[in-house]
Structures are given as structure tokens and as C-alpha cells.
Homo-oligomer: A and B are copies of this chain.
Amino acid sequence: MWTDRKADVRDTSGKRARDSSPVLNRLMALTGDMIYLDKVMQDKWFVLQLAVWALRGVTRVILANNPLSGALMLAALYWASPWQGLLGTLGLLTSTLVAVILGQDSAEVWGGLHGFNGMLVSLLMGVFNSAGDWYWWLLLPVCLGSATTVFFFSGLSSVLDRWDLPVAVFPFNIVIVIYFLCTGPDNPYFPRRLAIPPSSVATNVTAVSATEVLQGIPLGVGQIFACGSLGPSFLILAGLCLYSPLQAFHALLGSAVGTLVGLSVAVRHECLYSGLSGFNGALGCMAVGGFFFMFNWKTHLLAIASAFLSAYLDIALSNLLGATGLPACSWAATLTVTLLLLLRGSASAYRIPTGQVKAPEQNLRSRSRWEAGSTVERESTDV
């Protein structure tokens, strides 16, 4: 397998291969999107293929696409809570398999695009479940909910494709809201905790602890996986760094912006300390800074604006949905990024067509190639 891959590496980055050492070259091949892996895996066992699809799916949660990063992030989830890790794995596999059964586009399945929504649904079901860990009945809604995300992913993509928009985590957000509305704190089979609105409590008497607020920034990255422990959050960040250091930087920046926004409208301290104020900002910042837009100082400023808007919208939605005990999940970042992708004017010039999005570093490299081919591409994607 190693020989095969080496050949592929030379193939995709032939020019670079000459002026760097072979060891570094091999290590570099483990970063970014690892697209050559699809070819390598093509004639391997189905289980092995499924594992790669699923691990790609894990990273899709945090806007990455690298099976090794996925393995690190999954390890972080198992570290934080084995039960949560199990639920996440089950959701991941269920939705990926359902996508295969429903005959979804194979490129989408290979890229892990049908796994991450199912995983998030499962993780959130676990986090808000008030019947305790290892409550085996929960596997039923986890399987059903994960399977449902595939329907939403496929249906929504028909609509959003008209504007070349990604489906992102809309399916997760919709399905989890449906599940939470169906069950409730008094449900005899699937009791759940209620979400508390961030602006609700008037007992903000104590001063804010600066160290805890600072801790909230890396926790905000972990909260993207509904993970509230510091160690695993750093492992997730490490996995993200393996995929793209620029993404990791924007994740921390966005989380910091989100925390700042939380302070500016005086949310509950727990929101700041747990990273819940930060994770929408992190997602909004990552998506715009280098992922869906070419990275440069203009889009960097847009990424910061995106983090601000995501964080404010998250507080707004958390207050609205929290009034009925619902969490706002990642609605805010998803909506904000969708809005910014629709933007006209000078920003749209740096927009990368959804089908060609790669790791930010690779986006920068493939810029010239994409620009050369853009006139041809445009014609074919025109509706």
C-alpha cells in the first residue's frame, strides 16, 4: 500500500516533490484532503472503505476532510466519554450506510458528506439525554435520527444547489430540533434536559473569572463536537491542525470572538466558561476564512465579521429557542455562512465553487488552476 501511495503523491504534487526531502513529502501527504486515498481504497474491502468514509465524516463536522484527523477526533470523543463516542460512531455509520442504501451520489458518500450530520444528531441526543449514560433505548432514536439526516441532506441539496450553497449542518439542526420537540423532560421513554437561554438568569452577581473565560476559547472548539472537556478539545484542535493549521487558527480566533460577543451582551457565565458562546463563532470564522473563500486579508476580515454575526445570531436564537427549552445548536453559524456565501460585490470574487473546496492551503495553491478553468466550469454549472 505504501508504494502505491508514494506513486500517487508524486503524481499529484510532482513539481513540489523535487525540491523537498522524501520524508517531509510523506508527512505532507498525511495533511490536507488526502484525495489520493480514494484511488488507493477503491479495490479494498468494503469495511475498510466504510471506515475511511466515516473518518472523513468525523472531520466534516469541523469543516475538515482528512481520515487521520478524523481518527484523532474520534479518539478525543472516546476519551471525553466512551458512551458519547459509541453514540457518535453508531450515528456516523448508520447515516453513511443509509446513504449507500438510498443510492446517494457515491462521491458524496466517499467524501464523508453523509456521515457528519448523523454523528452530530447522535452526539446531541446523548448530551441532552437525562436518563444517564449507557441507556440502551437511546440507540433507537439515534439510528432513526441519523437515518433521517440523509433524507434532509438529499432533499435540501436539490434546493440549495441552485445557489451553489453547501447543505452543511442544516439536516442535523433540523432533525435534532424535531427530536427535542417530540420528547421532553417528562417523556417516559426518552427524557431530556432543557436548554437554558444564555440571557435568562439575573444572578450574574459574581465577577467573571478571566482564566475560566480563556479556558472557554479552546473549549469552544471542542463544543463543535458537543464535548466540554479541555483535554479532548485540544486533541480535536490537534487533529484540525493536521488537516490545516489555518483552519485551526481560525477556529481559535472565532471562538475568541464568540466569547467576546458573549461578554458584550452579558450572557450567563456558564456559557462563557463551557465554550458554548464560542463554538458558533468558531464555525463561522473557519468557514469563511480560507475554506469557502480564498484566504487573503480581505476574507480574513470577512471571517472575523462572520464570527461576530454567528455569535450574535447564536445568542439571539438561543434566547428564542431556549424559551421552549431547545438548544440553538449550530443554526447560527450555518445560517450566517449561507448568507455570506450568497454575498455579492467584491467578496464574491474570492468565493470558491462549492464542488472545488479543499483545505485552505490547497485552495490557495489550486487558485491559479481554478481561475484558468473557471470560464469552462461556469458554463457547465450554469442553471
Contact = CB atoms under 8 A, between A and B. Distances in A.
Interface of A: 102-105, 144, 148, 151-152, 154-159, 162-163, 177-179, 181-184, 186-190, 199, 202, 204, 264-266, 305, 308-309, 312-313, 315-317, 319-320, 323-324, 338-347, 383
Given A181-B316, A265-B182, A319-B182, A345 B104 contact: yes
Contact of A158 (B163, B186, B312): B163
B159 A342 contact: yes
Contacts of A104: 344-345
A265 B162 CA distance: 37
Given A151-B305, A182-B265, A190-B265, 4 more contacts: A104-B344, A154-B344, A184-B199, A188-B266
Given A178-B313, A315-B181, A319-B181, A343 B189 contact: no
Given A181-B317, A182-B199, A157 B344 contact: yes
20 contacts: A102-B343, A102-B345, A103-B347, A104-B344, A151-B305, A152-B339, A155-B339, A155-B340, A155-B342, A155-B343, A155-B344, A156-B339, A156-B342, A157-B344, A158-B344, A178-B312, A178-B316, A182-B312, A184-B319, A189-B265
Contacts of A157: 344
Given A266-B187, A339-B152, A340-B151, A346 B316 contact: no
Nearest to A326: B320
Nearest to A99: B345
A18 to B, nearest CB: 40
Contacts of A177: 316
Copies of this protein in the assembly total: 3
A156 B104 CA distance: 29
Contacts of A181: 315-317, 319-320
A278 to B, nearest CB: 16
Contacts of A105: 344-345
Q: Give the 7 A-B residue pairs with the shortest CB-CB distance, closest first.
A: A103-B346, A181-B316, A155-B342, A103-B345, A158-B342, A155-B339, A178-B316
A57 B20 CA distance: 58
A102 B188 CA distance: 52
Contact of A309 (B103, B148, B266, B313): B148
Contacts of A343: 102, 151, 154-155, 158
A97 to B, nearest CB: 14
A133 to B, nearest CB: 22
A76 to B, nearest CB: 31
A98 B105 CA distance: 41
Contact of A187 (B184, B199, B309): B199
Contacts of A155: 338-344
A162 to B, nearest CB: 7
A187 B313 contact: no
A152 B102 CA distance: 34
A257 B266 CA distance: 43
A163 B159 contact: yes
Nearest to A204: B188
A48 to B, nearest CB: 24
A59 to B, nearest CB: 23
A177 B308 CA distance: 16
Contacts of A317: 181
Nearest to A188: B266
A171 to B, nearest CB: 10
Nearest to A341: B155
